[in-house]
A and B are shown apart, each in its own frame.
Chain A
């Protein structure tokens, strides 16, 4: 595997379900990010982890719960979601998260549909 991988690629869940999104980066980076992309809206940053520590939480509802066990893996745990949470969820990584000349690379995304 190379680059940034995400699983599953597609997910359909009911509002009462609990599911998790997984991201893995094979680039040796130290920072990982979760984004939400809805139709006709800009990419919305959700969470940032830098060396496994959460450094940004962009006022994300508690029904989204991130977990970063190490610098290569990032999870997004989902529970009691709403239909408006349906979107493309993108994971990204960069060498480090501290503001600077850090190029960010994205995974393929998980297309989430909440019924």
Chain B
């Protein structure tokens, strides 16, 4: 079982729709979770961090964490073509300095 798993996609949504990206992790002791956006040929850019169960909203982005089910998700409301990118989920491995990244989900927002 991979430590952090994401569906590679592509996930295609029409402009203006809600995009839902999911991530599961294997280590139940994980406490810190991050979503990054990566455009082709560019470096990852931090979108959101979440540490507590529940929802965290920032503009059009909402991160959701459910530690009991070991998943974290990212919702993008009113999706725009400029949101088309690969979204990376990352988890800090408990007791270490390691950030473990998923392979990323490619999102395509269709105009």
B binding-site residues for A, Cβ under 8 Å: 4, 31-32, 34, 36, 42-46, 49, 51, 88, 90, 92-104
Contacts and interface: CB of A to CB of B under 8 A. Distances in A.
A98 B98 CA distance: 9
A42 B101 contact: yes
The prevalent SS among residues of B at the interface is loop
Contacts of B97: 31, 48, 50, 55-56, 97-99
Given A43-B88, A99-B92, A99-B97, A105 B102 contact: no
Given A58-B98, A98-B97, A100-B92, A90 B43 contact: yes
Interface in A10-55: 31, 33, 40-43, 45, 48, 50, 55
A50 B99 CA distance: 14
Contacts of B88: 42-43
Contacts of B45: 106
A106 B43 contact: yes
Given A56-B98, A98-B97, A109-B43, A104 B34 contact: yes
Given A45-B98, A56-B97, A99 B44 contact: no
Given A56-B98, A99-B96, A100-B92, 5 more contacts: A101-B31, A106-B43, A106-B44, A108-B42, A108-B43
Interface residues of A, number: 27
Interface string A73-95: 00000000000000010100000
Contacts of A105: 46
Most buried by B among A40, A43, A58: A43
The 8 closest A-B pairs by CB, nearest first: A43-B101, A97-B97, A106-B43, A48-B97, A42-B103, A109-B43, A42-B101, A55-B97
A99 B34 CA distance: 13
Nearest to B89: A42
14 contacts: A33-B99, A42-B102, A45-B99, A48-B98, A56-B98, A90-B43, A99-B31, A99-B32, A99-B92, A100-B32, A101-B31, A101-B49, A106-B36, A107-B43
